[in-house]
Structure 1
Amino acid sequence: MLEKNFDSVVIGAGHAGCEAALAIARLGFKVALFTISVDSIAMMPCNPNIGGSSKGHLVKEIDALGGEMGKNIDSTYIQSKMLNKSKGPAVHSLRAQADKKEYSNLMRRKMENEPNITIVQNEVIDIKTEKVDGRVVVKAVETYNHSIYNCKTCVICTGTYLNSRCITGDVYKEVGPNGLDSATFLTDSLRNLGINIMRFKTGTPARIDGNTVDFSKMEPQYGDENVVPFSFTNKPEDIEREQVRCWLTYTNAKTHKIINDNIDRSPLYSGIIKGVGPRYCPSIEDKVVRFSDKERHQVFIEPEGLYTNEVYIGGMSSSLPEDVQYDMYRSVPGLENAEIVRNAYAIEYDCIQSTECKSSLEMKKVDGLFSAGQANGSSGYEEAGAQGLIAGINAARKMQHKEPIILDRSSSYIGVLIDDLVTKGTNEPYRMMTSRAEYRLVLRQDNADKRLTPIGYEVGLIDEERYQKFLNKMESIDREIERIKKATTGNRPEVQDVLRKYGSTELKSGIHLSELIKRPELDYFKIAPIDKDRPELDYDVCEQVNIFFKYEGYINRQNKQIAQFKKMEEKKIPDDIDYNDVNSLRLEAIQKLSDIRPNSIGQASRISGVSPADISVLLVYLDYKGKQKNDNSTESE
């Protein structure tokens, strides 16, 4: 029997596993990174893009903390677009179409060239533990061929591979994404550790040969002329390149009739699929049934890369039989002669009930065992990468004997994501959305570095050179804000010309520049011709100055709300509290609090089934216990 020693083991080399392994390795620990196939490292089995509404926020935050996803997509994108530009900055979200093969290849090279990472193509079948001072502690993992890899920490990043099966019509196969092997043993090991398992489902559309598509019947979709990088280490000019076109077409009455006529053959409705699917990303058959009043649905045709003819049929995920897929896709304008390269399919898989995790993403029942990504019931590459980074950081910090990094809801979208998962749980594949973030005006993607780079530096994933550049940027922003606050202008002719140009009321006397910026029709950029003392600044600095003045009142109001939120978060609950001892707590509250084990009153208040009255009772109890402890301490003195 082969036996090896590592500091940490990461199970799975998808987007969560890559971020986890890199974080642990870059913090100085030896990592064994296990994957079903080396060719699947950072694979994109579904949509070939990174970012999107709210997901772009996550990628910028990953980068601000020192993760890799942002840099990787900046190097491999083939089209980039800022979504929601017509709306306020809180919901601006960057999205980039990837060359999916190049994205995977580049991330694989980074894994291979990281000296502290050892890649192992093998299936992990068991997690070994031991009892230490009454606690269950991770000790090692066992592979399919019975090799033992001893470790101090372990991060589960199994994605959709646990007991996975892919389904097309009434045909299914016990495989993972893209026909790779399923991981068939680890679920039993987790159950033996007392960890609760759920069964979820997701899916993907067909891939079609681009040579068989008539693009003349579709609307071209172009990337942005001025590209915004995902990584704060890049400037726009660093990543400029020629971009590909994507295309927009629509389903129609014929498409919907084909689907309705064959709905009994859909495994979603025939009962073959047992897992719960994503409500916010339904299959086309689900959309047609649930939204029967809609005459058409958008279909995006997206190239999978520069060196393949395969195109992705966004918006038409399906698990209908192959013959129905052909009829359905060929009913869409431009796809009349489409040839399917890869059929659409649904995939069912096991995942961990996310409330089994602490806010650090460490398992409550096993010390040193962490979990991240779709293994926790979330969906999406970005959600996976964000969790993988935090799990990796905290696995390393556990080995450093340091407190875990826990991001709260007021600090980041990552904090919202993890808090939702570990506090509320999820009964469907979880998807991040801007509406989930209460403080989204403060948690913009453009200021992710301001919010999180100091944490990345403190952790050790942001180097000194990058940190000094960050500090210089923050200083430039503060200096320009102070200058603008003091700067004024009069009613000179050239000033009135600028105001007339943008339909703004002309001046009768002098005014502060900050007041002009706050006018709805003006901004920091538009008043540049009348701001003679303005220094030459990078665009991202100017953007922060503009947002500061345009939204100052709203941001101040939200900061006050955050201050109130933090007061509740600072009211800590002892780890050893027995909720059965708290008089007047309802039975449901006792059960939920005992299960989730919240670390603060704030977290407790967000648990479904815990009422405001329960929180009041809990506060009184904690106050009483605190006074009792102080009295005992005084007596002993």
Structure 2
Amino acid sequence: MFHVIVIGGGHAGVEAAAAAARRGARVALVSFSRDDIGQMSCNPSIGGVGKGHLVREIDALGGIMAVAADRAAIHRRMLNASKGSAVRGPRVQADRRRFRTSVQAALAGHGVTVIEGEVSGLLIHGAAVAGVALADGNTLAAPAVVLATGTFLGATLFRGLEQWRGGRAGANASDRLAGQVRELGLAAGRLKTGTPPRIDGRSIDWSAVVPQPSDDTEWSMSMELAAKSLPQLSCAITRTTGRTHDAIRAGLNHSPLFAGSIEGRGPRYCPSIEDKIVRFGDRDGHQIFLEPEGLDDHLVYPNGISTSLSAETQDAVIRSIPGLERAKVVQYGYAVEYQYGDPRRLSSTLEHGDLQGLFFAGQINGTTGYEEAGAQGLVAGANASAVGLGLDAFIPDRAESYVGVMVDDLTLQGVSEPYRMLTARSEYRLHLRADNAITRLGPTAIRLRLLDEYRQSLVEERLRQHADASDALEQEVSAGELGLQGSDRKSLAEWARRDDAIAFVRSRLPAGPGAEEALDDAQYAPYLERQRNEHRNRQRDSMAIIGSDFDYEAVPGLSNEMKERLRASRPSNLDQASRLAGITPAALSALHFALVRSAA
């Protein structure tokens, strides 16, 4: 008998299995194919703004995604590097094969039992899950099961007028389990995602595209690795053209997206190229990022042209793009529509409210992306292990992590389209930086036994560096000691907010990334304090009146989506606004600030 059974070997599944195992659970992971565990089904990248924050938090909680990304990284780029540290997003291009191999090795190292096969149904005793039934007639018993089925649950693939069953190209769909999920009333509907065609890199005219080299600076996703371990490749940028857009419009009559074949909504922030052209037809071009898929692989991933158009149209589209005029398509793009559950029926531990011991994680909760899936898997796995072992639950706090923001958003607001992590979703984003994930979440990870001995030592060292630097920042020095005019005497933390004093302040701090985090804390301190005060005031002023003629267009920081929702509902106070479906805490923060300002 196992303590935890995980269904699915994608990013949610592997993090769930690994987290449960780290807490001492006996874990079985069931996957259609042992070799496909840890597969990067879509883009060959990990991280980005918001997403990179999640990866760092997964790492701080002992997860495996960041380490696998570092070991497979063939291109590194710190997004928003010229901006403040709160919005910088680490992102790596990964060698697909090496990433998958690293994930599988990590699972083996955790002692996870991998079972190759199909789960045909859940075993249920009363109001609790008791294990799973396999298609070969065998059963597995466990008091906790994690559903991490990704895009495989009741999935259909689309390309032009073609349709076939599968969760991704060359793989099966989980239809029998999907049927039971529907019968139990656990299904909410269908969502859609997609992938672009893959191109033979040897057929690309690299002289006609803009190169995007890997960063020169040394940084890593994980606390474990500090330097590049593989040769770095260059990515490149090109753009669609008027010819591209004409080819897409000519092929729309064979598009399942516009022919009504697909009923599920796709991700707002990563639409298919045909959707972009229909919705933004006035633009003269859209960027395409050409991303190599591996050191020993000639395939290139053209990020930005996800599509379900026919193969013939995809050929025309590709060959209308500068640098790709003679490109050879190796695998055509397609869309996948799949079944998901309503995350509002989950608790903050990601346990389902109708079946004790059943946890949902990843795209089954209506999210999109490896990073979102991995973070949910870690939460679900940590809590699934608690069922059988009597351990403390892990309930991530939205004030302390983007993991907490995501879980809170999903379980309270639900989804109407695939959910993607954005830094704008958090009202605490100045505090939730990618660089301080270890100091934010390390103590929680230690308390919950989510770290091995080596990781725990790294966290403790980071915390020591941060504490020592924080103490040093309390030291008071005069302007003269800094070589500045005046007689001011301030703490190093206060001087750290002046560009002409940063070098001196840094020279007084101990070395190490923990010290850099403390320095960032000092620089952001006035804003962090204001943010905390706003939060306290917002709680106190939740009944603040919103006039019927209030102008939402004049509210800085309020997205167009939030403005539309508020205009449609016309809440009379902040409390009513907070209960509107889809209204984010960040939107409420902006609205509260505008109301206070207008009343002053």
TM-score by length of 2: 0.87
**Quick one: structure 1 residues 148 and 469, their matched pair in 2 at CA, closer, same or farther if it must change by over 3 Å?**
closer
Distance in 2 between the 1:413 and 1:518 partners? 26
Contact kept in structure 1, 2:196 and 2:333, CA below 8 Å:
yes
Candidates 505, 515, 518, aligned match of 1:545 = 518
Contact kept in structure 1, 2:349 and 2:394, CA below 8 Å:
yes
Contact kept in structure 1, 2:496 and 2:505, CA below 8 Å:
no
Distance in 1 between the 2:169 and 2:324 partners? 23
Contact kept in structure 2, 1:13 and 1:40, CA below 8 Å:
yes
- Mapping for residues 175-254 of structure 1, pairs under 5 Å: 175-234=166-225, 236-237=226-227, 239-254=228-243
Contact kept in structure 2, 1:356 and 1:422, CA below 8 Å:
yes
**Quick one: structure 1 residues 125 and 566, their matched pair in 2 at CA, closer, same or farther if it must change by over 3 Å?**
farther
Candidates 94, 97, 107, aligned match of 2:93 = 97
1:273 and 2:262 correspond: yes
Aligned to 2:125: 130
Candidates 37, 61, 66, aligned match of 1:65 = 61
Contact kept in structure 2, 1:202 and 1:278, CA below 8 Å:
yes
Deviation at 1:471, TM superposition (A): 3.3
Greater Cα shift, 332-341 or 241-250? 241-250
Deviation at 1:21, TM superposition (A): 0.7
Candidates 116, 120, 130, aligned match of 2:115 = 120
RMSD (CA atoms): 2.5
Aligned to 1:317: 306
Aligned to 2:581: 608
SS of structure 2 residue aligned to 1:358: coil
Q: Percent identity?
A: 39
Candidates 507, 512, 532, aligned match of 2:485 = 507
- Mapping for residues 372-387 of structure 1, pairs under 5 Å: 372-387=361-376
Aligned to 2:156: 165
Contact kept in structure 2, 1:303 and 1:309, CA below 8 Å:
yes
Distance in 2 between the 1:345 and 1:45 partners? 12
Candidates 72, 76, 79, aligned match of 1:80 = 76
Contact kept in structure 1, 2:3 and 2:142, CA below 8 Å:
yes
Aligned to 1:632: none
Aligned to 2:139: 148
Deviation at 1:214, TM superposition (A): 0.3
Contact kept in structure 1, 2:32 and 2:116, CA below 8 Å:
yes
Deviation at 1:562, TM superposition (A): 5.0
Candidates 380, 404, 407, aligned match of 1:391 = 380
1:560 and 2:551 correspond: no
Deviation at 1:478, TM superposition (A): 2.9
Contact kept in structure 2, 1:174 and 1:182, CA below 8 Å:
yes
SS of structure 2 residue aligned to 1:287: helix
Distance in 2 between the 1:471 and 1:109 partners? 26
**Quick one: structure 1 residues 24 and 329, their matched pair in 2 at CA, closer, same or farther if it must change by over 3 Å?**
same
Contact kept in structure 2, 1:81 and 1:227, CA below 8 Å:
no
Q: Match for 1:6: what amino acid?
A: F
| Structure 1 unaligned regions, length at least 5 | 497-505, 570-600, 611-637
Deviation at 1:437, TM superposition (A): 0.8
Aligned to 2:8: 12
SS of structure 2 residue aligned to 1:229: coil
Distance in 2 between the 1:31 and 1:609 partners? 36
The CA deviation string for residues 164-218 of structure 1, in whole angstroms up to 9 with x for no partner, is 1111100111122122111111112112323133111100000000010001000
Q: Match for 1:289: what amino acid?
A: V
Contact kept in structure 2, 1:163 and 1:187, CA below 8 Å:
yes
Distance in 2 between the 1:483 and 1:461 partners? 31
SS of structure 1 residue aligned to 2:218: coil
Greater Cα shift, 15-24 or 104-113? 104-113
Distance in 2 between the 1:446 and 1:293 partners? 39
Distance in 2 between the 1:31 and 1:483 partners? 45
Q: Match for 2:327: what amino acid?
A: A
Greater C-alpha Rg: 1
SS of structure 1 residue aligned to 2:110: coil
Aligned to 1:298: 287
Distance in 2 between the 1:416 and 1:515 partners? 30
- Mapping for residues 353-372 of structure 1, pairs under 5 Å: 353-372=342-361
**Quick one: structure 1 residues 35 and 240, their matched pair in 2 at CA, closer, same or farther if it must change by over 3 Å?**
closer
Distance in 1 between the 2:5 and 2:521 partners? 44
Distance in 2 between the 1:535 and 1:485 partners? 11
1:38 and 2:15 correspond: no
